[in-house]
């Protein structure tokens, strides 16, 4: 710790407080305000209700497969990014020399740069775990689609179909959340790179990333379009809204 300036410690704490603080804030706010997470949850329930009354589920399985492949791509890419970070860590001396030759970069010790690279590697590991868990959950959804009740199964009553639709939508929603956490790690990892330039820039980048995420989650045009499909309006949820 003697090699870490106080300003860098403050920037480090500030960055992760912003990241995990926003994650907690977004989860709580989604319960009372319309956002991408809440409207997608509603649309997933409607989707699975439609599935419960279909005879064929080929198109639905294809849609889930497309999403699963996208998540798998990010999981694979994360491994390559992690390998790159470890490669740079192995040649830390050369990396530090390059940093010090760049304009506006604050002077920093080799130990501090190693710590920064180590934390970046941990962020990538976190993202990898989130993406792979999302892939597994989408695999569970494929199984659920395979055993979906259909119009030919007269033994399945309306209550059973509704129970299937709601719980399958929950699994899809949970998989979507894990995917979202992985993407959020990428967003903040890009902001984290600013720490190699200056701790002040890291603190600014954390706020900027949070602002971008908040705007897209709660005030984007795509959110307004999605809400319009259910006749919802942006802002706090009205009575009866899901």
Q: pLDDT at position 241, please? A: 63
239 within a domain of the structure (yes/no): no
Q: pLDDT at position 147, please? A: 82
191 within a domain of the structure (yes/no): yes
Q: Which residues form the domain of 107?
A: 6-15+33-228
43 within a domain of the structure (yes/no): yes
20 within a domain of the structure (yes/no): no
Contacts 24+ apart (CB under 8 A), 225-228: 226/36, 226/39, 226/40, 226/43, 227/34, 227/39
70 within a domain of the structure (yes/no): yes
Match 């710790």 to its residue by tokens. Answer: 1
Q: pLDDT at position 208, please? A: 97
Q: pLDDT at position 242, please? A: 62
Q: What is the pLDDT along the chain (242 residues), one digit of tens a residue?
A: 556 889 999 999 999 999 999 999 999 998 888 999 999 999 999 999 888 888 778 888 899 999 999 999 999 999 999 999 999 988 888 888 888 888 888 888 888 899 999 999 999 999 999 999 999 999 999 988 888 776 555 566 778 888 888 999 999 999 999 999 999 999 999 999 999 999 999 999 999 999 999 999 999 999 999 999 988 887 787 665 66
21 within a domain of the structure (yes/no): no
Q: pLDDT at position 116, please? A: 93
1 within a domain of the structure (yes/no): no
190 within a domain of the structure (yes/no): yes
CA distances from 192 to 80, 202, 203 (A): 18, 6, 9
Domain count, the chain: 1
């Amino acid at each position: 710790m003697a090699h870490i300036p106080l300003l860098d410690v403050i920037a480090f704490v500030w960055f992760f407080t912003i990241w995990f603080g926003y994650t907690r804030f977004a989860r709580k706010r989604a319960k009372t305000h319309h956002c991408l997470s809440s409207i997608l949850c509603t649309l997933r329930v409607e989707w699975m209700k439609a599935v419960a009354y279909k005879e064929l589920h080929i198109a639905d399985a294809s849609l889930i497969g497309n999403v699963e492949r996208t998540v798998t791509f990010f999981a694979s890419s994360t491994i390559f990014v992690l390998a790159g970070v470890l490669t740079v860590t192995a040649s830390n001396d050369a990396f530090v020399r390059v940093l010090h030759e760049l304009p506006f970069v604050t002077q920093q010790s080799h130990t501090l740069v190693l710590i920064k690279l180590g934390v970046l590697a941990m962020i990538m590991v976190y993202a990898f775990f989130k993406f792979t868990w999302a892939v597994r959950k989408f695999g569970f959804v494929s199984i659920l689609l395979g055993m979906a009740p259909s119009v030919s199964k007269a033994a399945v009553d309306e209550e059973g179909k509704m129970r299937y639709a709601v719980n399958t939508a929950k699994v899809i929603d949970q998989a979507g959340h894990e995917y979202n956490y992985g993407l959020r790690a990428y967003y903040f990892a890009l902001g984290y790179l600013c720490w190699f330039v200056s701790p002040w820039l890291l603190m600014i980048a954390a706020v900027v990333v949070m602002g971008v995420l908040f705007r897209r989650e709660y005030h984007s045009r795509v959110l307004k379009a999605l809400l319009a499909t259910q006749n919802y309006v942006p802002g706090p949820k009205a009575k009866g809204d899901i």
